[in-house]
Amino acid sequence: MSSDAKDDNVFKALAHPKRRQMLDRLKDEPRTTGMLVEAFPEMDRCTVMMHLKVLEEADLIIARREGRERWNHLNAMPIKQIHDRWISEYASHAVSVLDKLKADLDG
């Protein structure tokens, strides 16, 4: 899969607020699918599983089976790669524009 296709999957996964909330739940510790279903009572199990599938396809979570349980672990590397490729470059540009503006105002 090309880098652009991987980025597209990550952006698609992050576009939905429930998936972002799921990732927030996984920040501190892995959780079973059952725990995530309980954390989102407004969604049925199938809907939670659909969202987890999108996150897994984007490589944002890694699922591990332990007996009958499916543990979902956060994989933050795709988010870091998006940050490194997109956000940090735009942020550094914005900082340089602000530096120039400050210099113009001071000068």
Phi, psi angle pair for 35, to nearest 5°: -65, -40
Which sequence spans correspond to the domains of the chain?
3-75
pTM confidence score? 0.80
pLDDT digits (tens, 9 = 90+) for 50-97: 999 999 999 999 999 999 999 999 999 999 998 888 777 777 777 777
For residue 17, how many C-alpha atoms fall within 13 Å in the half-sphere facing its CB?
2
Which residues is 62 bridged to in the sheet?
73
Out of 3.40.640.10, 1.10.10.10, 1.10.645.10, 2.30.30.230, the CATH code matching 3-75 is: 1.10.10.10
Please give the residue that has the higher pLDDT: either 38 or 86: 38
